[in-house]
Amino acid sequence: MTKLIPITYHSKKYQPFIKSTISEVAGHIDKNLISVSGEYSLHTEYSFMRRKFDSPLIADLSYIRDGQLYGIPQLWKNDNWAKEFATFIIRLVGDNQLPTIIEIHPPFKDYCPSVDSFLERYNHFEETIKVVFPDTTILLENRSGTMYRGSDFLIETGSDVIDICSKLSMTSMKLEIVLDYPQLFSAEKIKMGEITDGSLEKILHFNTMIARHRAIIGGFHLWGKRKKPTDKRPISHVGDLNSFFSGNLDHKQRFLESMCVAFADSKERFFVPEVNSCEADVHSIVEDLITTGFEIV
């Protein structure tokens, strides 16, 4: 059985028979405080857009304030950036209860060209953060899509994910990966509305390969895209898997079944339905998962 722990995203409720005790909370660079009640996943800076860098929490953190290109944060710029990032997160959590999860995001290739370089920098972060939050799970999300013009993200494609999983398996680091599947489709140049049997095979093959490293996978993001007649392009985080696969139920089912088989072990993984549209779309995605064989725990 493939088991998922549900996380509440943007206060959207699951079906009544599903109990979610963890909520996602924004923790980007411009935040100066959070106020939470109950368990939470702290979703840190993801470097899509420009930030103001005006939070008092980073006023004395020069490496974070200087680590930017035209206002877009350059994550994991160097060792000192990683140390300061840990300081920022500790300050942001403040007197709140400790986070269940801290979700982080990869650097850009123009200043961090290899997985080894990133892990060396990340290790400084983990060494600090685990002293304060010893039981917190740290998840790295694959990323695709940004206003940054210096380069692509270091962890975008399926091969990037396999690479870092292989490297992590040879270390004592506690870092795990949260797979954002829609971003993986984008990184593999698979466009909504143009998914073919051949292009879908890239993701099915990835699921076969990642099964060898599933111990490193700590969770998943799923969300839809939807395109209205007046839209030039599909809108991300709007819709369900039916709209994401343009109504091709065969493609949707083959994807879900390959995902279910790849992670059919005893490990419970976190699940975030990153849907900005409506609760009906969240419910649709959850029903697809349950029907395929996933267990929401």
Tens digit of pLDDT for each residue in 147-183? Answer: 999 999 999 999 999 999 999 999 999 999 999 999 9
b/e burial code for range 24-59 (CB count within 10 A of at least 16 → b): bbebbbebeeeeeeebbbbbbbbbeeebebebebbe
Rounded Cα distance, 219 and 6, in Å: 10
Residue 1 pLDDT more than 80?
Answer: no
pLDDT tier at 231, thresholds 50, 70, 90: confident
Name the residue type at position 245: F
**Nearest Cα to 177, choosing from 221, 145, 225, 136?**
221
Q: What is the pLDDT of residue 81?
A: 98
Give the range of the structural domain holding residue 101, as residue numbers without chain letter: 2-296
Q: Which two tokens stand for residue 268?
A: 């419970």
Domain count, the chain: 1
Q: pLDDT digits over 244-297, tens only?
A: 999 999 999 999 999 999 999 989 999 999 999 999 999 999 999 999 999 999
Rounded Cα distance, 104 and 80, in Å: 17
Q: Any idea what the CATH number is for the domain that residue 45 is in?
A: 3.20.20
Show the 3-state SS of the chain.
CEEEEEEECCCCCCCCCCCCCEEEEEECCCCCCCCCCCEEEEEECCCCCCCCCCCHHHCCCHHHHHCEECCEECCCCCHHHHHHHHHHHHHHHCCCCCCCEEEECCCECCCCCCHHHHHHHHHHHHHHHHHHCCCCEEEEECCCCCCCCCCCECCCCHHHHHHHHHHHCCCCCCCEEEEEHHHHHHHCCCCCCCCCHHHHHHHHHHHHHHHHHHHHEEEEEECCEECCCCCCCCEECCCCHHHHCCCCHHHHHHHHHHHHHHCCCCCEEEEEECCCCCHHHHHHHHHHHHHHCEEEC
pLDDT tier at 232, thresholds 50, 70, 90: confident
Q: pLDDT digits over 103-162, tens only?
A: 999 999 999 999 999 999 999 999 999 999 999 999 999 999 999 999 999 999 999 999
Q: What is the pLDDT of residue 140?
A: 99
Q: What is the pLDDT of residue 172?
A: 96
Mean per-residue pLDDT, 82-108:
98
